[in-house]
Amino acid sequence: MSSPSVSGAIASALAESEPSAKVMAARRVAREWRKGRLPFRFDVAMPDVPGRPARPELLPPTKMPKRGRGQSLKGRIALFHALAHIEFVAIDLALDMAGRFGGEMGKDFVSDFLSVAADEAMHFVLLERRLRALGSFYGDLPAHGGLWDAAGETRHDVAARLAVVPMVLEARGLDVTPTTIERMRSAGDSAGVRILERILDDEIRHVRVGANHFAEVCERRGKSPDSTWKTLVKKHFRGRVSGPFNDSARNAAGLSRELYAGIAY
C-alpha cells in the first residue's frame, strides 16, 4: 500500500475541528513531510471550509464586542482569546497554502508553509495555555468570523493568496504587536510579553517567506512584484491597508516602505 500523499495528509489536518486535534495534525504533517514520509502527490483536493469547533461563536466584525486596551484581567483575557483565534485560523491558512498550491509551486514551497503551520499551531498552544492561566479558555468568548474569507477570495491564484495573507494580514501583526507587548509589560504580564515576543519574531519570518515566494511567482510570470502586489491587493483585499506601520519589522520581512506606501490610506 502506498503512503498517504502530502495533499491527503494536509486535507485530513484541515478537516480536524477540535483545536488540540488540529494542532497535533498540523505538527504531524510538518514532521512527516520533513522526514520524507509523505510523497509529493497532489491527488486530494483541499476543503473549501476547514473543520471548526462548536465554540467559539463566530460573529461578523461589526458584531464583535470591543476589547478595550487589554490591561485589566478581563481585557487581557479578551486580547489573548482574539489572538488565539487568529492563530487557530492561521494554522488552516498555512496548511491550505501548502495543500492547494504546493503542486504548482514545488517542494520548497510545501516545506516553508508546513513549517509555518507548525509555528502557528505552537503559537495557538502558548496563547491557549495563557488563557487557562488567566482563568479562561479558547471558545469562552465570541470570535471574528471573517478571518477565513481571504482564503476563499484567493483560492484560484497563488499570487493573490500570497499578496493578501502573508503580505497584508500577517504583516499587520508586525505593526500592532509591539504596542500590545508594551501594554502587557505595563500590566505586569511577563508571561504574555514572552509569548508575544516569540510570535512577533516568528511572524517576521512568515511574512518574509510569503514575500519571497510572491517575488518568485512574479518573476516566473514576467511581472513586476510591486505593481502586481498593489493590483492584487486592490482586487482581492476587502479591508484597508493603513498605518501606522512598523517599518523596521516590515523591512526585515522583505516589505519595503515603497511597496505599501503607495496603497496605504
CATH of the domain at 114: 1.20.1260.10
Q: Is residue 48 part of a domain?
A: no
Q: Is residue 245 part of a domain?
A: yes
Please state whether the peptide bond connecting residue 56 to the residue before it is cis, i.e. omega within 30 degrees of 0.
Answer: yes
Alpha carbons within 13 angstroms on the beta-carbon side of residue 115 total: 15
Whole-number average pLDDT of the chain: 94
The domain in which residue 175 lies consists of 72-261
- Which three cell numbers, joined as nine digits, stand for 259? 511597496
Q: Is residue 218 part of a domain?
A: yes
Distance CA 203, CA 61 (A): 23
Looking at residue 265, its pLDDT comes to: 53
Q: Is residue 163 part of a domain?
A: yes
Distance CA 46, CA 77 (A): 33
For residue 133, pLDDT beyond 60? yes
Looking at residue 240, its pLDDT comes to: 84
- Which three cell numbers, joined as nine digits, stand for 185? 509589560
Task: Single out the residue of 88, 105, 98, 69 nearest to residue 218, CA to CA.
Answer: 105
Q: Is residue 150 part of a domain?
A: yes
Task: Single out the residue of 259, 243, 157, 147 nearest to residue 207, CA to CA.
Answer: 259
Number of domains making up the chain? 1
**Which residues in the chain belong to E strands, given as ranges?**
58-59, 143-144
Q: Is residue 5 part of a domain?
A: no
Q: Is residue 49 part of a domain?
A: no
Beta carbons within 8 Å of 248's beta carbon, 6+ residues apart: none
Band (pLDDT 50/70/90 cuts) for residue 129 is very high
Alpha carbons within 13 angstroms on the beta-carbon side of residue 187 total: 20
- Which three cell numbers, joined as nine digits, stand for 154? 484567493
Burial class (CB in 10 A: 0-12, 13-18, 19+), 67: middle
Mean pLDDT score, 219-241 = 93
CB atoms within 10 A of CB 32: 16
- The model's pTM is 0.95
Q: Is residue 121 part of a domain?
A: yes
Band (pLDDT 50/70/90 cuts) for residue 1 is very low
Q: Are 258 and 226 in contact (CB under 8 A)?
A: yes
